[in-house]
Structure 1
């Protein structure tokens, strides 16, 4: 769907009170046009209408009309600067055309993320893991019934039940003990 057509649908959704639909459409548009600050401002406004203050702060973060309490809510919800930077969905691009309030806000977040970003070491920097010889498995207990097992089962369950269970057990044991083709 083309951007102008999608924006018309967003407006129709908002006019009819379908705020969540408008939010979904605007989110899709931002995925396609991550640098479009007007889309971000519209999405922040839709989130305000839905009462989602942290998301209004997230999408309004790069716009001039972001309220301080919205940005604070976004920061409280996502404490890591790296996570907040990732959630802006810029796909590794530095935003263009930021206003005088948003430019320092973005620069500060990027610097925070760079300062606190802890990356795992590269694989070649890790020492090799020593291989240990595997131990042989313990031998399996012998299959079958001892006299004590049979007498106990007879006393507890009765002769018919025990005979049926022993036959079933021996059949299953024979099937699994034989080699399969």
Structure 2
């Protein structure tokens, strides 16, 4: 559906008091058109109408329409700067953004790089997200042990059944 038709439906949803449907439509548009700051602004406004300051801050961050309170709520809800980068749903190089948007992207990236002491890029976030976090090795081993025990239990159960059937037949 064209963006203009979807935005018209968003207006109708908001006029009818259905902010949930409006935000759902707008989130779909942001996913399809992440560079459209007007869509992000409208999504921030829709969340502002529902009183969700953290989401208003999230979606109003890049277009620069979020209030200081909303930005603080977003930072409080998502304290890790890497997760805030991810939450913005910007998957392109910073250079592809308008200058003011680029500056906001850069500011958040600088914060995340200082936290993790490594270079990060928006366009590579899906590949790099797991790297800063260390896996819980004892939990990994416990899961593997549980899988091995389950397989062993199954194999022993089948073997016991085979032995029982053989004894019954003889």
Shift of 1:179: 4.5
* Cα gap change, 1:107 to 1:113, in 2 (>3 Å): same
Per the alignment, residue 116 of structure 1 pairs with 115
Asked if 1:177 corresponds to 2:127, the answer is no
* Cα gap change, 1:112 to 1:16, in 2 (>3 Å): same
How far apart in 1 are the matches of 2:99 and 2:25? Answer: 23
Shift of 1:64: 2.5
Asked if 1:55 corresponds to 2:42, the answer is no
Per the alignment, residue 149 of structure 1 pairs with none
Q: CA RMSD in A?
A: 2.6
How far apart in 1 are the matches of 2:68 and 2:40? Answer: 16
Asked if 1:40 corresponds to 2:43, the answer is no
* Cα gap change, 1:178 to 1:85, in 2 (>3 Å): same
Unaligned runs of 5+ in 2: 119-130, 134-151, 153-159
Per the alignment, residue 80 of structure 1 pairs with 80
Alignment of 1:1-181 (within 5 A): 1-94=1-94, 96-99=97-100, 103-117=102-116, 119=131, 177-179=164-166
Shift of 1:20: 0.6
Post-superposition CA distance 1:94-136 (Å, at most 9, x none): 261253xx55433210111223237369xxxxxxxxxxxxxxx
Per the alignment, residue 124 of structure 2 pairs with none
How far apart in 2 are the matches of 1:68 and 1:106? Answer: 17
Q: What is the TM-score when the length of structure 2 is the normalising length? A: 0.67
Unaligned runs of 5+ in 1: 122-136, 138-172
* Cα gap change, 1:111 to 1:49, in 2 (>3 Å): same
Task: Say which one has the larger Rg.
Answer: 1
* Cα gap change, 1:47 to 1:174, in 2 (>3 Å): closer
Post-superposition CA distance 1:65-119 (Å, at most 9, x none): 21000000000010110000000001143261253xx554332101112232373
How far apart in 2 are the matches of 1:177 and 1:92? Answer: 63
